[in-house]
């Protein structure tokens, strides 16, 4: 009899532990989501009251003058990200195609390994590298240097997603193409890569979303510029650097501009992320 | 795992394996080879880039390396006016804030990962994972803005007074509550590493074979006992890898930290005090470095950060890929 009660106590204790741990894990989840909710809430509320038409059409106002906007920084961000994409996307896609279609062996291992390492290098270090590589020899900050820095950051992301996505293309498609006598390199470009387009685009969108929000690699490459300028050989304003400068300044007007910039940036990056991930997921669902 | 890929050539394979198609089209052979070399060159570019970064940082930090030698790493006087530079306060700040981030972030991340992998229903797990991953997508400068105007007042008004009352007798939590400082930086870094650690750890747990779980259940284990006895031990290497991956992110994170840490190069016990990290120093002082020695000292700190993140990432990838073979998102 006593054995039975001991064991039922024991079972009860084990059940209680089980339930307690389940609640602890749920609590952890809530703790993880709380800051996200807070950030989204504050940026939306404070940003929405600060985003005006002027924000998209006017140049920054001098200190003390209310109003003004960030049209130069918006244009600058688009330009620098476009330049980064022109560098990062082709290199990433062709490198990824190599890894998936050719890259066995030691060399392929090294490429994968260094791509992962490059992905983990802090963005500020990439900024210092581009500073030493481009800004020092040309003797001034430039939009070009900023674009190259962002391009370098995009390469590892695009390379690894392209590799994975191209790998998913069924072998039968390639074999059908070979059977028709189409050379390997044409098959790669017109059959394999084209079939994987949706997946590769997903990777590109994620990479663009990531560099769109980057500040650190632009601080001393693209620098900043209070005026309207689209010249790539000159310092250029970007939304992230502008946001940073406004956020740490002591003026309320500038803080409002910072929240507005945060809302615009956050909307862009989240839309790109959601689009990329839903597209990627749908592709996977079809593949299975 | 890369070795598997090396062993089994990709479907379709290079033209060497397809003598049928290639034999009839000898002329396309040359084009194929050219194309393969072009692709290989682009892949090679990645290796060149990583070595190039290390090389150019080492070259550019030459003056500082020559003048201070290795003592740069353990002297703490940072005085641009007299051209004396020691990186210790920055290294200290980087390590302390990263350690704080892991201390706060790892238990939460593991809880999240366990919940998503083992406890929630499939449908809600997909949605919740998606939400957690969105947190990783928020630009760090926006988290910094939120840190200045939301987190700092909260830390100054509630967190630090409460910690001071409960643990004020330890040097770690003594002194006035500033808000900005090491503690705030640690909290914001924790927020940034949670999505990374939890999503990689979740992938690792999902890769644990089902029969491991069933074996535990067959022994009469409760769900928690199954997780402790089967999932966590099996995935241990990968989970440690996930944590190290988070550490890599925390070490190099720049903007959000710069905006909340207070940027003062000092080594003090109290976490309520302002500090400085390597990345924050680069962000703040790089474009105003007046002398070439100052600039090369900053670049040498970038080199230190580069080496740290290289080691940390290499270790993490190795551990994670032992368990899951999929691509690990940043």
- Please check the confidence at residue A109 and state whether its pLDDT lies above 50: yes
How does residue A282 score in pLDDT terms, banded at 50, 70 and 90? low
- How close, in Å, is residue A264 to chain B by CA atoms? 11
Tell whether A119 and A33 lie within a shared domain: no
**A252 CA: distance to closest CA in chain B (Å):** 12
Q: Find the helix packing angle between B88-114 and A2-48, rounded to 10°.
A: 120
Chain A residues with CB inside 8 Å of B40's CB?
A: 98, 102, 107
**A183 → closest Cβ in B25, B130, B195:** B25
A39 contact residues in B (CB cutoff 8 A): 138, 142-143, 146
What is the pLDDT, as a whole number, of residue B28?
67
Confidence of residue A55 (pLDDT cuts 50, 70, 90): confident
Instruction: Return the sign of the alpha-carbon dihedral for residues A210, B147, B85, B82.
Output: positive
A139 and A206 Cβ atoms separated by less than 8 Å: no
Residue A280 — pLDDT band, cuts 50, 70, 90?
low
Residue A135 has pLDDT above 80, yes or no: yes
pLDDT band at A49 (very low <50, low <70, confident <90, very high): confident
Write out chain A residues lying below 8 Å of B198, CB-based.
32
pLDDT tens digits for range A240-275: 999 999 999 888 888 989 999 999 999 999 999 988
Smallest Cβ–Cβ distance between A94 and the set B2, B39, B56 belongs to B39
Paired tokens of B210: 């089902």
CB contact under 8 A, A117 and B145: no
How far A214 CA lies from chain B's nearest CA (Å)? 7
Q: What is the pLDDT of residue B72?
A: 87
Does A3 share its domain with A126?
A: no
Residue among A257, A238, A247 at smallest CA distance from B148 = A247
Do A17 and A118 fall within a single domain? no
Instruction: Give the confidence band of B3 by pLDDT, cuts at 50, 70, 90.
Output: very low
CB contact under 8 A, B248 and A120: yes
For residue A265, give Cα distances in angstroms to A59, A70, A241, B320: 18, 12, 12, 32
pLDDT bracket for residue B71 (50, 70, 90): confident
pLDDT in tens, A6-16: 578 888 888 89
User: Among all residues of chain B, which has the CA nearest to that of A169?
Assistant: B11
Query: Nearest residue of A to residue B33 by CA position?
Result: A185
Q: Residue B4 has what pLDDT? A: 39
B7 contacts in chain A (CB < 8 Å): 104
> B26: pLDDT confidence band, cut at 50, 70 and 90?
low
> Band of the pLDDT at B186, cuts 50, 70, 90?
very high
State the average pLDDT for chain B: 85
Q: What is the pLDDT of residues B5-16, one digit of tens each?
A: 333 344 444 444
Coil, strand or helix at A154:
helix
- Range B301-325 average pLDDT: 84
**CA-based nearest residue in chain A for residue B16:** A184
Partner-chain residue, chosen from A94, A106, A219, that has the shortest CB–CB distance to B283: A219
How far is Cα B162 from Cα B174, in angstroms, rounded to an integer? 11
Q: A31 and A121, same structural domain? A: no
- Partnered with residue B79 across adjacent β-strands are B84
Indicate whether B184 pLDDT > 60: yes
Q: Could you state, in order of their start, the residue ranges of all structural domains in chain B?
A: 2-60, 72-323
Number of domains in chain A: 2
Q: Which of B1, B32, B43, B159 to mutate to test the interface with A (most CBs of A within 10 A)?
A: B43
pLDDT at position B329: 40
Residue of B4, B6, B14, B46 to mutate for A, most A C-beta atoms under 10 A: B46
Percentage of residues in chain B with pLDDT exceeding 70?
89
Size of the A and B interface in Cβ pairs below 8 Å: 331
Instruction: Assess whether A61 and A16 both reside in one domain.
Output: no
A99/B21 Cβ within 8 A: no
Q: Do A113 and B109 touch (CB under 8 A)?
A: no
Residue pLDDT, tens place only, B130-181: 888 888 889 999 999 999 999 999 999 988 888 888 888 888 888 888 889 9
Smallest CA–CA distance, residue B273 to chain A, in Å, is 19
Q: How far apart are CA B94 and CA B78, in angstroms?
A: 16
User: Does the pLDDT of residue A121 top 60, yes or no?
Assistant: yes
Instruction: Determine the pLDDT at residue B57.
Output: 93
From the list B21, B224, B313, which residue is nearest A120 (CB)?
B313
Query: Which chain A positions have a beta carbon within 8 Å of B133's beta carbon?
Result: 273, 277
Name which of B14, B46, B223 is nearest A159 (Cβ-Cβ): B46
| Res A91: pLDDT | 94
- Residue-range definition of the domain harbouring residue A42: 1-48
Which residues of A are less than 8 Å from B58 in CB distance?
none
Residue in the structure block whose two tokens are 């009899």: A1
Nearest residue in chain B measured CA to CA from A203? B329
- pLDDT at B327 > cutoff 90: no
Choosing among B145, B203, B326, which should be mutated to test the A contact, i.e. which has the most A CBs within 10 A?
B145
Mean pLDDT of B246-253: 92
Residue B107 has pLDDT above 90, yes or no: yes
Question: Out of B11, B116, B251, whose CB is closest to A171?
Answer: B11
**Residues A231-242: pLDDT tens digits?**
888 999 999 999
Asked if residue A122 lies in contact with residue B251, where contact means CB atoms within 8 angstroms, the answer is yes
- Give the mean model confidence (pLDDT) for residues B206-224: 90
For A120, the closest of B44, B134, B309 (CB atoms) is: B309
Same domain, yes or no, for A77 and A186? yes
**Res. A1: pLDDT tops 50:** no
- Chain B residue nearest residue A181, CA to CA: B21
User: Of A120, A141, A215, which is closest to B141 when you measure between CB atoms?
Assistant: A215
CB contact under 8 A, A24 and B111: yes
| Among the partner residues A100, A131, A270, nearest to B10 by beta-carbon distance | A100
Q: A63 and A42, same structural domain? A: no
Q: Would you say B235 and B205 are in contact if contact means Cβ atoms under 8 Å apart?
A: yes
pLDDT greater than 90 at residue A80: yes
- The 3-class secondary structure across chain B, one letter per residue, is CHHHHHHCCCCCCCHHHCHHHHHHCHHHHHHHHHHHHHHHHHHHHHHHHHHHHHHHHHHHCHHHHHHHHHHHHCCCCCEHHHCECCCHHHHHHHHHHHHHHHHHHHHHHHHHHHHHHHHCCHHHHHHHHHHHHHHHHCCHHHHHHHHHHHHHHHHHHHHHHHHHHHHCCCHHHCCCCCCCCHHHHHHHHHHHHHHHHHHHHHHHHHCCCHHHHHHHHHCCCCHHHHHHHHHHHHCHHHHHHHHHHHHHHHHHCCHHHHHHCCCCCCCCCCCCCCCCCHHHHHHHHHHHCCCHHHHHHHHHHHHHHHHHHHHHHHHHHHHHHHHCCCCCCC
A32 plus A99 within the same structural domain: no
Chain B residues within 8 A of A99 when measuring between CB atoms: 43
> How many Å lie between the alpha carbon of A58 and the closest alpha carbon of chain B?
22
CATH number of B72-323: 1.10.3720.10
- Same domain for A156 and A116: yes
pLDDT in tens, A161-213: 999 889 888 888 888 988 998 888 888 888 888 888 888 998 999 999 999 99
- Structure confidence at residue B6 (pLDDT): 38
């Amino acid at each position: 009899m006593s054995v039975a009660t001991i064991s039922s106590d024991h079972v009860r204790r084990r059940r209680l532990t089980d339930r307690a741990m389940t609640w602890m894990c749920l609590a952890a989840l809530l703790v993880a989501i709380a800051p996200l909710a807070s950030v989204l809430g504050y940026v939306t509320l404070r940003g929405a009251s600060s985003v005006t038409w002027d924000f998209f059409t006017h140049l920054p106002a001098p200190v003390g003058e209310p109003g003004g906007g960030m049209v130069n920084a918006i244009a600058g961000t688009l330009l620098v990200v476009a330049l980064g994409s022109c560098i990062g996307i082709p290199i990433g896609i062709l490198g990824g195609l190599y890894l998936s279609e050719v890259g066995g062996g030691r060399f392929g291992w090294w490429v994968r390994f260094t791509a992962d390492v490059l992905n983990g290098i802090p963005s500020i270090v990439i900024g210092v590298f581009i500073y030493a590589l481009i800004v020092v020899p040309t003797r001034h900050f430039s939009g070009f240097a900023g674009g190259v820095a962002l391009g370098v950051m995009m390469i590892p992301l695009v390379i690894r997603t392209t590799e994975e996505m191209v790998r998913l293309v069924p072998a039968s498609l390639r074999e059908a193409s070979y059977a028709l006598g189409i050379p390997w390199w044409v098959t790669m470009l017109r059959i394999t890569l084209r079939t994987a387009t949706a997946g590769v685009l997903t990777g590109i969108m994620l990479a663009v979303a990531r560099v769109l929000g980057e500040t650190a690699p632009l601080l001393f490459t693209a620098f900043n510029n209070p005026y309207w300028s689209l010249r790539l050989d000159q310092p250029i304003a970007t939304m992230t650097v502008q946001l940073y400068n406004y956020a740490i300044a002591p003026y309320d007007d500038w803080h409002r501009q910072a929240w507005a910039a945060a809302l615009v940036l956050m909307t862009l990056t989240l839309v790109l992320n959601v689009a990329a991930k839903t597209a990627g997921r749908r592709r996977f669902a079809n593949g299975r | 795992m890369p070795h598997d890929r090396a062993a089994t050539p990709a479907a379709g394979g290079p033209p060497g394996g397809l003598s049928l198609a290639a034999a009839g089209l000898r002329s396309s052979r040359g084009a194929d080879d050219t194309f393969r070399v072009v692709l290989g060159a682009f892949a090679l570019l990645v290796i060149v880039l990583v070595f190039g970064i290390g090389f150019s940082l080492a070259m550019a930090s030459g003056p500082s390396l020559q003048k201070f030698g290795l003592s740069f790493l353990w002297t703490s006087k940072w005085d641009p006016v007299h051209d004396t530079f020691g990186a210790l306060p920055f290294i200290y700040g980087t390590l302390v804030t990263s350690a704080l981030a892991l201390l706060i972030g790892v238990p939460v991340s593991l809880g999240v990962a366990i919940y998503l992998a083992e406890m929630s229903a499939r449908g809600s797990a997909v949605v919740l994972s998606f939400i957690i991953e969105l947190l990783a997508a928020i630009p760090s400068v926006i988290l910094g803005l939120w840190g200045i105007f939301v987190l700092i007042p909260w830390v100054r008004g509630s967190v630090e007074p409460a910690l001071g009352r409960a643990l004020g007798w330890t040097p770690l939590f003594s002194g006035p509550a500033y808000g900005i400082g090491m503690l705030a930086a640690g909290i914001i870094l924790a927020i940034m590493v949670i999505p990374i650690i939890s999503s990689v750890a979740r992938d690792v747990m999902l890769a644990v074979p089902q029969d491991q779980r069933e074996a535990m259940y067959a022994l009469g284990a409760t769900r928690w006992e199954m997780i402790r006895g089967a999932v966590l031990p099996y995935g241990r290497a990968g989970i440690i890898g996930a944590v190290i991956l988070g550490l890599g992110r925390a070490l190099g994170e720049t903007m959000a930290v710069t905006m909340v840490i207070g940027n003062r190069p000092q080594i003090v016990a109290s976490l309520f005090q302002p500090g400085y990290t390597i990345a924050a120093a680069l962000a703040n002082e790089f474009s105003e470095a007046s002398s070439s020695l100052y600039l090369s000292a900053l670049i040498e700190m970038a080199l230190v950060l580069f080496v740290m993140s290289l080691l940390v990432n290499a270790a993490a990838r190795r551990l994670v890929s032992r368990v899951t073979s999929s691509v690990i998102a940043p």
